[in-house]
Structure 1
Amino acid sequence: MVLQRNEINEKDTWDLSTIYPTDQAWEEALKDLTEKLEKVVQYEGHLLDSADSLLEITEFSLEMERQMEKLYVYAHMKNDQDTREAKYQEYYAKAMTLYSQLDQAFSFYEPEFMEISEEQYADFLEAQPKLQVYQHYFDKLLQGKDHVLSQREEELLAGAGEIFGSASETFAILDNADIVFPFVKDEDGNEVQLSHGVYMRLMESKNREVRRGAYQALYATYEQFQHTYAKTLQTNVKVQNYRAKVRNYKSARHAALAANFVPESVYDNLVAAVRKHLPLLHRYLELRSKILGISDLKMYDVYTPLSSVEYSFTYQEALKKAEEALSVLGEDYLSRVKRAFSERWIDVYENQGKRSGAYSGGSYDTNAFMLLNWQDNLDNLFTLVHETGHSMHSSYTRETQPYVYGDYSIFLAEIASTTNENILTEKLLEEVEDDATRFAILNNFLDGFRGTVFRQTQFAEFEHAIHQADQNGEVLTSDFLNKLYADLNQEYYGLSKEDNPEIQYEWARIPHFYYNYYVYQYSTGFAAASALAEKIVHGSQEDRDRYIDYLKAGKSDYPLNVMRKAGVDMEKEDYLNDAFAVFERRLNEFEALVEKLGLA
């Protein structure tokens, strides 16, 4: 049974009192920032009066944003730890409202800044040396000049920010708090209530009937709500397409990638490379079918581990194993990891109402917290090092960069996390000689690659297709979404959609479809991480130093430049082909072990 929040041991919860000591302190900070908003109007129309005014207004806006992020993080995480609590739903709503008001108040900034001439820009930088730290920030703004609207239009868009986010919020409440899953039988024949966490555990069951029961029960529930989920997703897609259109972008994808200064060819190269290598996935699934001894592989057979070796970890064992693997990154990196593990940066276990999944989050002035829903298995060990990768990236960036560059683009975010996963795989394969255990580790890697590269690219194709469909006037009904998703799933997995009818509803439960072209970066990130991990584990100290420099870079340079300095050129296809070469090499070893161990 999933515990209530107050039944979880405090040491296994994150310590949000390090952000604000009490809820009252948060409320006072909210009030203080709300009052400061009233001062913003005095700056309107004066941004380019002088170099000093540009500096003053820029620093004031960044300071307000910095305080806002801290307020938001507290409310967001308090809400995530139990989405049923009305108090923190209200906090979150207030934070979102203030965020929107802040955006609206400073909506004059970009239109006014775009009026600066090249001569005036150069003069300002020379006249006020303190502006020079913001030069890259200003340069990036100027690159988006064609997509900045008039001041009045910017005000209107900023004022609608909370409304634009309502579809995502509705999905989150429905999927984490309101939806009630039925009871199903577990491996011991006990009736257990499905939740997001329980479902994933049952999908790894050795008992096919348990897997089938959980799978069918979960998707039968989503089938009941398919029209509501379709409406929330359609609304979100319309919001992104509308924003892109009014800002003069070709498409929502163009707008999303341009925000990270990433050309759309990077996205298209990914899809093309993955589709070219789908035979590798089909080969792996055929092998999986043989090992399981079934002739009719179904989607609920894709997640169960193939190994009989109980290569699982308690949470405490996982912390130790993570520290051992990540020590290759140096003493300073390891000391940061130990701080995160010992100083309650992590919310470990599932509880009633807690947001599903896992993430790393925080702001410039907080710890780099992690949310987990821990289960004692190898997959969760990889989740731990994955989120730790994000948190260490945040730690290095915030410590090294001023606030204006003290974050990193989402394009770079998934690289640090999946580099850690690849390092862990290398470490485990390096220390384990036993064939059966190597089989388990390779199985985990192949499944991870399937889930991160193949699956997320499938998601990326689906996401782009629904945005294009809406842009072309198609109505995103549940029937349309079901068919599109089922067809794509059949192409990727090679499993008949007629034999797997439930999978057509899977789109409804994917929160990342509300993140606006986020998922493709899991795939590009994993591929880049594969190259970086090879350099870190088998390369020189210089390679490791360049990687740490990448972690420190934040937004001080363009994402693709940061990666080139780290040793990976993501505008070329080489890094993708190299990643698939690693997958094929490990698939070959896996096949050899299957034969050697007589498993098929």
Structure 2
Amino acid sequence: MIKQLKKRSEVKEEYKWKIEDLYENIQQWQKEADEILSMAEELKGYKGKLGESADTLYSYLSLRDKLNLFMERVYVYANQKFHEDTTNGIYQDLSDKAASIMAKVNSAISFATPEILEIPEQKIEAFYKEKTELLQYQRMIQEIMKDKPHTLSSEMEELLAQTAELADGPENAFSMFNNADIKFPVIENEDGKEIEITHGRYSKLMESGKRSVRKDAFEGMYSSYKKFKNTLASLYSTNVKKDIFYSRARNYPSSLECALDGSRIPVEVYYNLIDAVHENLPAMYKYMKLRKKALKVDELHMYDIYTPIVSDFKMEVAFEEAKQIVKEGLKPLGAEYLSILQEGFDSGWIDVYENEGKRSGAYSWGAYGTHPYVLLNFQNTLNNTFTLAHEMGHAIHSYYSDKTQPITYAGYRIFVAEVASTCNEALLMAHLIANAKDRKEKAYLINYHLEQFRSTLYRQTMFAEFEMLTHQMAEEGQALTAENLSAAYYDLNKKYYGDEVVIDEDIAMEWARIPHFYRSFYVYQYATGYSAAIALSKRILEKGELAVEEYIHNFLCGGSSKDPIDLLKGAGVDMSSKEPVKQALMVFADLVDQLEGLID
């Protein structure tokens, strides 16, 4: 009998997030959505007046803060309801309405940045003295001034703002395809029972100790995407062309520089990451050779690189147990942090289990003024226990920054977005390895840690290199066909995994299933964030309370009140150098050596 997913209505309330903490019902949502459109019209009335006086500028900015507060709530609620069940037409419509409202709002306020840029700096300085309340916006205004070479006229900014819904087209189409439309085959699991492959089950199937299950899941997944390769290539190509359009419209030399400038990250950081990983590929090749030996296979295939190589050790973790393990692992962060973690567990922050139509993957999200939310598709694996620690790291980062910063600076830049989450994972892993019951468990956990390095530092860097290459191809006028994309992706797998692995043809289609490729030049930050997190976790474990104090108050509470590089420096990690990446890769190499000594 095929195991079917539960419908949303069949999931117990205790395992659903309390979305009603945002709005009790759609009627409340609609009321606030209408208010947003009224506020947007009121803000449009300031056009041509922002430089008139300090009072006018302050009045505009404070009203815009209020609109942003409402807009966050409206947009998050609509999309989280949609993510609960992407097949539900009511919530599809709600999500579309929220996107439309946001586009209208962005169009209505698009005049502001060019207009602020036209105010002479001496006049703005005089405004600060005349109305000291304006000083809360000083950093924001300084950031606008830095963007002067990339800011267009008021009319052109409004025109670009009106393209927002079109620009979201490729990502939205991919999301609908990936979450609602694509179906995967039924295979036999380890027990010989028929089971349908789903996004949520795939990783667990790939960890199976039975090789035929891994092979069937791998081939079933990628054969399903291959059937739609030309459609998916067209979507991805259109998304890349969108990036190029905006980068050229805003006078950037490349789409990469355009994307990184949003967080004030020099492109050298991106290139340095790829170079550092290339220099340390021999450690990955050594790990693959060790994996081949441990699995006792003549050929190591791509479907063999996820299964634990300590084959007779099982670590299944139910959700309630996972919460306790995460709490123990995060004890070094102190009582205050743990109390916030417990609040999240007890107060409906988390949507736990997969259901029919639910968005795949995991994330943390939320709106200023309300608690964060975490979406999971929890399976009883150690991997999902780490996902819980990871997403709660995001959530508590947001909790601290929202509590400490005004809405203007509460949202942190994407460059640091993965640091707190990955620091949680590193602390949890240190706890588990230190408390391993025997040699076998220690080997299992070290292997798991190596897999975190492989999947986060090496693999995400490979993704980042793929994005860089494909954008460069398009910028040079080369077509991004399914064949070109697959060939580029296949070659990268050969480079990153080496001669010890048979690079199966099916892996060439993996690019087609990565949602983050529709948030261009995002994934490299998993790798840089992982490197920073390794450094921070090491510092917390070695220096204790002082390091925790600096981490929480200089970093987690910082929001975007400083540039990302400066926030991390305040916590004791300098990401403007290659050192954190090098140190992380040295840890990886050392773990490979340790595992070699534990494997018979």
Which residue is 2:557 aligned to?
A: 552
Aligned residues: 595
Segment drifting more, 198-207 vs 67-76: 198-207
Which residue is 2:452 aligned to?
A: 448
Query: C-alpha separation between the residues in 1 aligned to 2:307 and 2:501?
Result: 20
Q: Which amino acid aligns with 1:322?
A: V
Which residue is 2:540 aligned to?
A: 536
Could you say what secondary structure the match of 2:118 adopts? coil
Distance 1:351 1:495, change over 3 A: farther
CA contact (8 A) 2:54 2:128 kept: yes
1:161 to 145, 152, 164: 164
Which residue is 1:299 aligned to?
A: 302
Which residue is 1:109 aligned to?
A: 112
Which residue is 1:392 aligned to?
A: 396
Could you say what secondary structure the match of 1:393 adopts? helix
TM superposition shift of 1:27: 1.5
Query: C-alpha separation between the residues in 2 aligned to 1:495 and 1:457?
Result: 19
Extract unaligned runs of 5+ from structure 2.
none
Identity rate, percent: 39
User: Where does 1:451-470 land on structure 2 (aligned, <5 Å)?
Assistant: 451-470=455-474
Distance 1:470 1:593, change over 3 A: same
CA contact (8 A) 2:185 2:197 kept: yes
Which residue is 1:585 aligned to?
A: 590
Which residue is 1:574 aligned to?
A: 579
2:340 to 336, 343, 348: 336
2:313 to 309, 314, 318: 309
Distance 1:109 1:225, change over 3 A: same
Q: Which amino acid aligns with 2:212?
A: E
TM superposition shift of 1:62: 2.0
CA contact (8 A) 1:486 1:497 kept: no
Q: Which amino acid aligns with 1:67?
A: F
Which residue is 2:360 aligned to?
A: 356
CA contact (8 A) 2:288 2:500 kept: no
Which residue is 1:411 aligned to?
A: 415
1:274 has 2:281 as partner:
no
Could you say what secondary structure the match of 1:43 adopts? coil
TM superposition shift of 1:499: 4.8
Could you say what secondary structure the match of 2:284 adopts? helix
Segment drifting more, 325-334 vs 168-177: 325-334
CA contact (8 A) 1:47 1:112 kept: yes
2:142 to 139, 155, 161: 139
Could you say what secondary structure the match of 1:309 adopts? coil
CA contact (8 A) 1:311 1:437 kept: no
TM superposition shift of 1:496: 8.3
1:150 to 134, 150, 153: 153
Which residue is 1:59 aligned to?
A: 62
Which residue is 1:213 aligned to?
A: 216
Q: Which amino acid aligns with 2:154?
A: Q
Query: C-alpha separation between the residues in 1 aligned to 2:106 and 2:251?
Result: 20
Which residue is 1:486 aligned to?
A: 490
User: Any idea what the Cα deviations from partners look like across 1:393-451, whole Å, max 9, x if unmatched?
Assistant: 00000000011011100101100010001101111122224111111111110001100
CA contact (8 A) 1:393 1:551 kept: yes
Which residue is 1:251 aligned to?
A: 254
Query: C-alpha separation between the residues in 2 aligned to 1:474 and 1:209?
Result: 39
Which residue is 2:384 aligned to?
A: 380
TM superposition shift of 1:67: 0.8
Query: C-alpha separation between the residues in 2 aligned to 1:33 and 1:124?
Result: 28
TM superposition shift of 1:242: 0.4
Distance 1:498 1:483, change over 3 A: farther
CA contact (8 A) 2:302 2:503 kept: no
TM superposition shift of 1:217: 1.1
Q: Which amino acid aligns with 2:264?
A: F
CA contact (8 A) 2:222 2:506 kept: yes
TM superposition shift of 1:42: 1.3
Could you say what secondary structure the match of 1:39 adopts? helix
TM superposition shift of 1:8: 1.0
Could you say what secondary structure the match of 1:376 adopts? coil
Segment drifting more, 119-128 vs 445-454: 119-128
Could you say what secondary structure the match of 2:133 adopts? helix
Query: C-alpha separation between the residues in 2 aligned to 1:32 and 1:497?
Result: 58
What's the TM-score, normalizing by structure 1? Answer: 0.98
User: Where does 1:73-152 land on structure 2 (aligned, <5 Å)?
Assistant: 73-152=76-155
User: Any idea what the Cα deviations from partners look like across 1:558-579, whole Å, max 9, x if unmatched?
Assistant: 1111111111111111111111
CA contact (8 A) 2:299 2:502 kept: no
TM superposition shift of 1:157: 0.4
RMSD of the TM alignment (CA)? 1.1
User: Any idea what the Cα deviations from partners look like across 1:376-399, whole Å, max 9, x if unmatched?
Assistant: 111111111010100010000000
Q: Which amino acid aligns with 1:564?
A: K
Q: Which amino acid aligns with 1:257?
A: L
1:369 to 373, 376, 383: 373
CA contact (8 A) 1:13 1:344 kept: yes
CA contact (8 A) 2:351 2:376 kept: yes
Segment drifting more, 55-64 vs 447-456: 55-64
Segment drifting more, 582-591 vs 436-445: 582-591
CA contact (8 A) 2:301 2:502 kept: no
Q: Which amino acid aligns with 2:536?
A: L
TM superposition shift of 1:497: 9.0
Which residue is 1:40 aligned to?
A: 43
2:507 to 503, 525, 528: 503
Query: C-alpha separation between the residues in 2 aligned to 1:365 and 1:169?
Result: 27
Could you say what secondary structure the match of 1:489 adopts? helix
Query: C-alpha separation between the residues in 1 aligned to 2:40 and 2:279?
Result: 53
CA contact (8 A) 2:302 2:501 kept: no
Could you say what secondary structure the match of 2:403 adopts? helix
Distance 1:244 1:469, change over 3 A: same
CA contact (8 A) 2:300 2:501 kept: no
Q: Which amino acid aligns with 1:434?
A: D
CA contact (8 A) 2:201 2:379 kept: no
Query: C-alpha separation between the residues in 2 aligned to 1:583 and 1:312?
Result: 25
Could you say what secondary structure the match of 2:195 adopts? strand
TM superposition shift of 1:592: 0.6
Query: C-alpha separation between the residues in 2 aligned to 1:441 and 1:128?
Result: 58
Query: C-alpha separation between the residues in 2 aligned to 1:69 and 1:189?
Result: 47
CA contact (8 A) 1:289 1:297 kept: yes
TM superposition shift of 1:172: 0.2
Query: C-alpha separation between the residues in 1 aligned to 2:422 and 2:325?
Result: 16
Query: C-alpha separation between the residues in 1 aligned to 2:91 and 2:524?
Result: 32
